[in-house]
Chain A
Amino acid sequence: MEEWRQVFYHAMNMFNVVIVSYFFLANGTYTLLMIMSLGSVWLHNRRLTYQGLDELRESAVTPPVTIVVPAWNEQEVIVDSVRSILRTDYPSLEVVVIDDGSTDGTLNRLIAAFRLVKMDLIYRPRLQTKSLRGFYLNPRIPNLLVISKENGGKPDALNVGINICRTPYFCTLDADCLLERDALLRLMRPIVRSPINTVASGGIVRILNGCEVQDGKVVKVRLPKTGIERFQVVEYLRSFLFGRTGWDLLGGTLIVSGAFAVFHRETVIDAGGFQHETVTEDMDLIVQIHRWAIHHKRKVKMKFTSDPVCWTECPSTLKMLGRQRRRWQLGLCQTLWKSSEILFNSRFGTIGMISFPFHLYVEGLGAVVEFLGYFMVPLALIFGMVPVPLFVLFVVLSVVYGAFLSVGSVLLEELTYRRYPSFRDLMTLLWYAVMENIGYRQLVLFYRVQGVVRFMTGFRKWEKVAHVGAAR
């Protein structure tokens, strides 16, 4: 009995060490990313004063781009989205909407709104996809093409878009997203200006809920009404403004949001296109491109920029939030597992030695460690292994540190883009940044752990997050 007791105590001690190490590793890295991002985003914002978008807009040398919009049961938002996309300020733009076998009125609404006619055109697939049902065009809107296909999932729809597009670059855009007029120009700027071959460029995704939209354009930026949506505003700021900016600065970009990103077509095709093995095809593609580049000895660059803005609708119910976060976590685990050869592989540089291990141990497995911590640390307290004051201090520290990072992201927003114009919105954001760590963080953690469990049990289903078009 004494032996078992010893083993138990030993195990508890070990776990306590793990949880403390995890805490300092994660928060230390986040703090570092935040500090770097503060400098980087400030500098980027200054550089925008001489960015020369006019030149990019007017130049014949600016590469043409196709916006690929996969849509599945998006009847509420699709027409507004396509109208907004067609108004995008870009010199040479094509739009391909892929209706992925919708069972609602997505296709019919598009046909009616844009007076499309079914045509029998040639399809030359370079990436394997499910079969197509038809092409819909209006010869008077030559830059819009709608394709109807059998349901095959988002990666399959995106691959159809890649097969059909003729431009050297394509932009993936979720059907529920609204682009700012010059967002594509801004997204293409790093590609055009970089002396190194930039094969992917990602922009910032902001939350549309609560904003006022007219004719597919955000005319007034406001915070959403409900707490769950406001917490997500803070989360998105943290994730995009300092998470992705920081990794970009370190050269460790592992995630470019597929909701709004530009890719070099031939590179994506060479890397195998969007894959079906994971439920986060965007992250999977980025990792694949990294692997392809290393294996083929190609020097490529993937860039995140914080000024091209795309507005998206975030989940407004716990059910939908749960679906989204489970999928993100499941996809993260699947992608990291699939590409485990990158882990501590010095050939991959920052990606192999820092970014990939961080995503695996902190973003992936960290969810389980943190979740277990909520049970094991109190257990250690019960068994007298941790003094009560220390336990309390540790809880306070974790809450305060979380608040520090979230408030930091709000400050970053304030220092740079200031999208929320009213003083009240700023105070609300700061309040939610502080409160995020009490309740909301634990809820999201629970969904993330569910995602990890699903990964362990081999679950692969893509959970659909319904968009209700609330902001339109």
Chain B
Amino acid sequence: MPFLIEHIFEVVISIVIVVLLGTGSLVVAAIARRQRREKYFQRIDDLRQRYSPVIAAVLAEKLEYDRGLAVLKGISGLDRGFVLEQLCLEKKPTSEQVPILRRLCEDLGLVNVWQQRLRSRVDTTSIRDCLARPGAMLERVGRLHFLMRAKAADNLGRIQHRASWPLLVKALEDPHADVQAVAVRSLAAIQEPDSFAPLVERLHAVVLKPAATLSLRALKTALVSFPLRQAVGLIPSLNHSHRRIRFLGTDIIREIVERQGAWEEDFVMDSRIFSLDLIDAFVTRLCFDENPDVRARAAAVVSHLGDPRSTPVLLTLLEDTQWFVRLHAVRALAKRKYLSQAPQVAQRLTDPHWMVREAAARTLLVFGRVGSDHLAAHFLSTEDRYSQEQIADEMQRAGLIPSLLAQYGSEAEGVEGRVIEQFAHMGKTSYLVSVLHHSSEHDLRKKFLENFGRHPDPQIRAWVSHVATQDPDKELRALAEATMRQAAS
């Protein structure tokens, strides 16, 4: 009862032969590839050993530039250009080395090649050059040429080739998204002031055309890396009718300002470094924008302004109807210069949203002793359980418990005892007990035993029992035993 078609044998045999041949070819290809790669890496390693020290010495200015250049010009071979590119861009240069590397790449003719590649849609590399290095032939294929353009744009960015910025701006219109993304990144590395406006334009275009191939994050990352003086170029974004563009403009300025703030302690912006137009825009308009995201991001910028209007504006934002605007306002106030605003920040410890409560507690901790006192006072006086929980949380996370116990042990009367009592009352004694377990302070443990030894908290009870049975200190052991008896009776 044959159910098979007539030529099934021939068909199956053919398939077996084809698959066998295919498998064999794959094995051969894998082995050949390995051998070719090994030869290639061998050559690269040899060249690296010979020439990398020369490049390093030139960059470190330990070798005369012209002599180094002459040595590098001596590299020959079909893949000369590729090898030079590999050697020069092997390591990320320091900011001092960049100008020397840039000159080196120019004098070796690499910059010209990169500019040509980026400019043209077809490859200008010779077939001989492509044959000498693996995979390069494929890159000559029209549709894959973007790989070369993108790499060229990347190289120009890595050496911060300022003269190439118009070419990179043009590359923002490249048909391939990779080239566009790399061009954006390279423009950010070069930081040519005139390229800021085209990038902002591109940002607007991406927001307004959802089908854009460039990611907003890539553009934002690029714009954020520019110096603060460029912020004025974002005024068109801040004035834009599109709420998302206004938000992005504000957020980019916030990132730039915060980066600057992280470098300089007590960083204050006045009209010399932040134009009056911008100051006015933030204080009078953006902090009251209908888009809450804009208001929230504006708070951080306003907090760095030296303008007298900034504090009242921030206090207004503390009362905003949107919780995340209040959150950003509280975070913005986390600077020592706003120490006098501690009572207003403390009020946010009872905010309905936990993230605002948390931010308020953290901001008060930034204020140092004044903030801690506010925190402790609020912790003891408030009847808001959520607020108390939040403060207890922050005090533990910030590692304040050991110092709290140390102060409690050393001071006769103070607020610390009441704070500890509150912790015990809330059942948050894990950290306290852990510190006591590892403490060798006789006076502290004695005082704690006397004052809290009879507390019903199970963890305190367990600690007292541990002291009573295992502590090497006789006096403490006796005290713990007595405390336990009293507690039991």
Contacts and interface: CB of A to CB of B under 8 A. Distances in A.
Interface of A: 9, 13, 16, 42-43, 46-47, 49-50, 52, 54-55, 59-62, 117-122, 124, 134, 137, 139-140, 142, 192-195, 385-387, 389-390, 393-394, 396-397, 400-401, 403-404, 407-408, 410-411, 414-415, 418, 423, 426-427, 430, 434
Given A60-B259, A410-B30, A414-B34, 15 more contacts: A52-B185, A59-B221, A59-B225, A118-B431, A120-B392, A134-B430, A139-B399, A193-B215, A387-B4, A389-B9, A390-B4, A404-B19, A404-B23, A411-B33, A426-B30
Given A50-B178, A61-B221, A397-B16, A117 B431 contact: yes
Given A16-B3, A414-B33, A52 B255 contact: no
Given A59-B224, A134-B430, A418-B37, A407 B23 contact: yes
Given A139-B397, A193-B217, A407-B26, A397 B15 contact: yes
Contact of A50 (B138, B151, B188): B151
Contacts of B185: 52, 55
B396 A401 contact: no
B8 interface: yes
A139 B434 CA distance: 14
Nearest to A190: B215
B84 to A, nearest CB: 15
Contact of B26 (A54, A59, A404): A404
A394 B396 contact: no
Interface string B360-402: 0000000000000000000000000000011011001111000
Contacts of A139: 397-399
Given A393-B16, A400-B20, A407-B23, A195 B216 contact: yes
22 contacts: A42-B135, A42-B138, A49-B151, A55-B221, A59-B225, A120-B396, A124-B354, A390-B4, A390-B12, A393-B9, A393-B12, A393-B16, A397-B16, A401-B19, A407-B30, A410-B26, A410-B30, A414-B33, A414-B34, A418-B34, A423-B34, A430-B31
A115 to B, nearest CB: 10
B70 interface: no
Which 4 residue pairs spanning A and B have beta carbons closest together?
A139-B399, A50-B154, A120-B428, A118-B430
Given A393-B13, A430-B27, A52 B212 contact: no
A246 to B, nearest CB: 16
B298 interface: no
| Chain A interface mostly | helix
A414 B34 CA distance: 7
A42 B20 CA distance: 24
A430 B393 CA distance: 57
A54 B185 CA distance: 11
Contacts of B390: 122
B224 A61 contact: yes
Q: Find the residue from B22, B216, B426 having the highest chain A CB count within 10 A.
A: B22
Nearest to A17: B3
A59 B223 CA distance: 11
B223 to A, nearest CB: 9
Given A46-B147, A61-B224, A122 B12 contact: no
B214 interface: yes
Q: Find the residue from A46, A142, A386 having the highest chain B CB count within 10 A.
A: A46
Contacts of A192: 215, 217-218, 221
B191 to A, nearest CB: 13
Interface of B: 1-4, 8-9, 12-13, 15-16, 19-20, 22-23, 26-27, 29-31, 33-34, 37-38, 92, 135, 138-139, 144, 147, 150-151, 153-154, 178, 181-182, 185, 188, 206, 212-218, 220-221, 224-225, 255, 258-259, 354, 389-390, 392-393, 396-399, 426-431, 434-435
B375 to A, nearest CB: 16
Q: Find the residue from B178, B259, B430, B435 having the highest chain A CB count within 10 A.
A: B430
A394 B27 contact: no
Contacts of B37: 418
A397 B390 CA distance: 68
Contacts of B154: 49-50, 52
B460 to A, nearest CB: 13
Contacts of A387: 2, 4
Nearest to B426: A120
B406 to A, nearest CB: 15
A188 to B, nearest CB: 10
A81 to B, nearest CB: 24
Nearest to B155: A50
Contacts of B216: 195
Contacts of B27: 407, 430
A120 B30 contact: no
A397 B399 CA distance: 67
Contacts of B1: 9, 385
A47 B16 contact: no
Contacts of B182: 50, 52
A131 B30 CA distance: 53
A404 B224 contact: no
Contacts of B92: 54
Contacts of B2: 387
Given A194-B215, A393-B12, A120 B34 contact: no
Contacts of A407: 23, 26-27, 30
B328 to A, nearest CB: 15
B40 to A, nearest CB: 12
A430 B147 contact: no
A61 B9 contact: no
Nearest to A58: B225
B392 A193 contact: no
Nearest to A410: B30
A162 to B, nearest CB: 17
Contacts of A62: 221
Contacts of A16: 3
A394 B397 contact: no
Nearest to B152: A50
B258 A60 contact: yes
A195 B212 contact: yes
B150 to A, nearest CB: 5
A60 B12 CA distance: 60
B29 A390 contact: no
B71 to A, nearest CB: 26
A379 to B, nearest CB: 14
A407 B26 CA distance: 7
B95 to A, nearest CB: 13
Contacts of B427: 120
Contacts of B206: 195
A121 B215 contact: no
Contacts of B188: 55
Nearest to B216: A195
Given A46-B139, A60-B224, A390-B9, A426 B31 contact: yes
A47 B178 CA distance: 8
B430 A120 contact: yes
A456 to B, nearest CB: 30
Contacts of A52: 154, 182, 185
A385 B3 contact: yes
Nearest to B390: A122
B218 A122 contact: no
Contacts of B220: 61
A414 B33 CA distance: 7
Q: Find the residue from B13, B138, B431 having the highest chain A CB count within 10 A.
A: B431
B215 A195 contact: yes
Given A50-B151, A192-B218, A404-B26, A117 B434 contact: yes
A404 B30 contact: no
Contacts of B212: 195
A2 to B, nearest CB: 13
Nearest to B251: A61
A35 B181 CA distance: 28
A385 B258 CA distance: 79
Nearest to B399: A139
Contact of B147 (A47, A117, A124, A400): A47
